[in-house]
Chains A and B, each alone.
Chain A
Amino acid sequence: MKELIKGNEALAEAAIIAGCRHYFGYPITPQNEITAYMAKRMPEVGGVFVQAESEVASINMVFGAAAAGVRVMTTTSSPGFSLMQEGVSYLAAAHLPCVLANIMRGGPGLGNIAGSQGDYFQAVKGGGHGDYRLIVLTPAYVQEMIDFTILAFDLADKYLIPVLILTDGIVGQMVEPAEFPKDYKPNFYDKSWALTGAKGRPKNVVRTLWLDDYGVENNNIKLQQKYARIKAEFVMYEEFMTEDAEVILVAYGTPARICKAITKKLRNEGYKVGTFRLQSAFPFPEYRLMELALEKHVKGFLVVEMSAGQMVEDVRLSVRDYKPVNFYGRMGGVLPEERKIIEYTLDMLKGKVEVN
């Protein structure tokens, strides 16, 4: 049965449903509800909640708990995620599974506490040092906060990789009907690599350092093979009225909801518009976007973000020069205007190659 749930609390409860019993966090708006929820809920389910002394501490507690073989999560918002980057790089290098969430707010710097999408590059292109990737899921609905969080724990254990839930503060703060799965049983993976005490077996060592000449390169090769496998096996997106669309709006998170509403509105007026909504940002749905670009009916894409234009670069890399890719965004926690999106869409429908 559906109930009214806040995005952040939905994410927190979903982690518990997924079998997470260790949560380390540090307060920061607009994700404080997760920390508060875990403080109350973890003891009820026999789990551990610690308010760390900083995000540096949270991410390294996650490192330790992941190495010890449990399902573990930390959550934060933009400035806090910046502070975590060193740990994220180490977690990736050590092939450790964990779930992270960045409920993005306006930046750079302290910025503000309004929802934003300025951290896409940080999430998808690195953020920390070295050649690594995270699986990045991008929920836009409270229901997806639940579903994607549960999925995130599974993907993390399956591929031994940190999985990041990347969404904006609006989705985190939104209250809407959603449903927790009933009778969900987490699929706990074999973790014989974990640090569980070496009695009766050879010791396990979790590390990101190799002293011989090719150790680090070999680890990099392993990482790249893993990323290739993930790209081959997994990607998520939603297509809304794209079958015959002439202009496709591309977005994720809150702007995607705006784009879908506009799509409906313009369809009612007879315009052939569709929305392509990213549900995973890594892997990026490049293949499907290229397929769409090659369709005769598609005139071009309009990417809408709450940023200066970050995800748009991946759309351009995907469709190359086959079709025009335009961009419209607002920064610093300001919502893209419906009026503008409609204006640019209509321009593109009329055949204009460059809008905005």
Chain B
Amino acid sequence: MATVDIKKFQVNLNPTWCPGCGDYGLLRGLQTALAKLDLDPSEIVIVSGIGCSSNLPHFIKAYGYHSLHGRALPTAQGVKMVNPRLTVIAAGGDGDGYGIGVGHLVHACRRNIDITYIVMDNQIYGLTTGQTSPTSDVGSKTKTSPDGNYEYPLNPILLAISSGATFVARTFSGEPEHMADIIVKAIQHKGFALIDDISPCVTYNKKNTYQWFKERVYKLEDIGHDPYDINQAIQRATEWEDKIPIGIFYINPDKPSYDQLDPVIREGGMFAKPEITEDEKKEILNQFL
């Protein structure tokens, strides 16, 4: 693979994440993807919620908005609706996006607005020092389930597909190159894209470690998975524990995105600059004479 120059997206601030945190892999993968897309930092807005992972906008060169816990998606949609020409990326953790903010996820999927949403899924609450999350495995011991978790986790892939998302994928922070390729496709996709990134918390999640995942992950493209077939997608989405698929589960190229349907946003939104004709130019300049 040709190397790309990610310098354009680097900042002089070292991430505050613990050494080995999966979020470094995501940062690298995202920077690589943005470089591959040949985007300029001025064309990108990254909106996050609250959590370790949600500190992402500080560590990448692009416009950033560090919003409220669980509210990355409504905030990101607000940005996109004002200026649909921007590449809007929402990001955060599993607690943020699948817990407190899950209602917004369902509606963003349904609306199929052209945003890429990346969830750094570590199956734990990292920033608040290790509580159960909506994706914690049954039996996981955490600060709030000292005897092992007995709530069943939600399945973000199935949730997104059934809610109407038109691009649904899983990446692994241990595979940043593979991840970068998927992020490229997600951003190019016109419509709502969810990327559930397996991003191990090396400090608080003692079960779902890099090693645990390395023994289990396989790539959907290696087994001839057809992402345009919703039934195959749903079937693959149910796999966990023994074998864990990464790659693109589902693409629906046929459903128009919200920003293609809304009569104002479709034309470029409120800030779209209309083409100025030569006559109009003259007229404006004449006012100064």
Contacts and interface: CB of A to CB of B under 8 A. Distances in A.
A79 B69 contact: yes
Given A39-B144, A40-B146, A26 B100 contact: yes
A39 B125 contact: no
B146 A39 contact: yes
Nearest to A54: B100
Task: Report whether over half of chain B's contact residues are helix, strand or loop; otherwise say mixed.
Answer: loop
Nearest to A31: B128
13 contacts: A26-B100, A27-B125, A28-B128, A32-B128, A32-B131, A35-B131, A36-B131, A39-B143, A39-B144, A39-B146, A40-B146, A51-B144, A53-B99
A39 B141 CA distance: 11
A51 B132 contact: yes
A26 B133 CA distance: 11
Contacts of A49: 144
A36 B100 contact: no
Interface in A134-151: none
A110 B50 contact: yes
Given A26-B100, A36-B144, A49-B144, 17 more contacts: A27-B125, A27-B128, A27-B131, A32-B129, A32-B131, A35-B143, A39-B146, A40-B146, A43-B147, A51-B132, A51-B145, A53-B102, A53-B134, A54-B100, A110-B66, A110-B68, A110-B69
Interface of B: 50, 66, 68-70, 99-100, 102, 125, 127-129, 131-132, 134, 143-147
A318 interface: no
Contacts of A35: 131, 143-144
Nearest to B134: A53
Q: Quick one: which of B66, B127, B128, B147 has the most chain A CB within 10 A?
A: B128
A29 interface: yes
- Of B99, B102, B132, B147, the most chain A CB neighbours within 10 A belong to B99
A13 B131 CA distance: 20
Contacts of A27: 125, 128, 131, 144
A79 to B, nearest CB: 7
Contacts of B70: 54
A29 B128 CA distance: 6
Given A27-B128, A51-B132, A54-B70, A36 B102 contact: no
Contacts of A28: 128
A18 to B, nearest CB: 22
A256 to B, nearest CB: 29
A53 B100 contact: yes
A331 B183 CA distance: 42
A152 to B, nearest CB: 23
Interface of A: 26-29, 32, 35-36, 39-40, 43, 49, 51, 53-55, 79, 110
A54 B96 CA distance: 10
B68 A32 contact: no
A26 B129 CA distance: 13
B172 to A, nearest CB: 26
A85 to B, nearest CB: 15
Contacts of B125: 27
A175 B66 CA distance: 33
Contacts of B129: 29, 32
Contacts of B69: 79, 110
A55 B101 CA distance: 11
Nearest to B70: A54
Contacts of A54: 70, 99-100
B91 to A, nearest CB: 16
Contacts of A53: 99-100, 102, 134
A51 B100 contact: no
Nearest to B149: A51
Nearest to B146: A40
A347 B18 CA distance: 49
Contacts of B100: 26, 53-55
Nearest to A26: B100
Output the residue of A26, A36, A43, A51 with the most chain B CB within 10 A: A51
A143 to B, nearest CB: 26
A55 B134 CA distance: 15
B143 A36 contact: yes
A117 B68 CA distance: 21
Contacts of A43: 147
A51 B146 CA distance: 12
Pick the 9 closest A-B CB pairs, nearest first.
A54-B100, A27-B128, A39-B144, A36-B143, A27-B131, A51-B144, A53-B99, A40-B146, A27-B125
Contacts of A51: 131-132, 144-145
B145 A39 contact: yes
Nearest to B131: A27
A24 to B, nearest CB: 11
B105 to A, nearest CB: 12
Contacts of A39: 143-146
A8 to B, nearest CB: 13
A79 B128 CA distance: 14
Nearest to A80: B69
A286 B119 CA distance: 51
A28 B69 CA distance: 11
- Counting chain B CB atoms within 10 Å of each CB, the highest count among A40, A54, A55, A79 belongs to A54
A143 B125 CA distance: 31
Nearest to A38: B144
Contact of A32 (B99, B143, B145, B147): B143
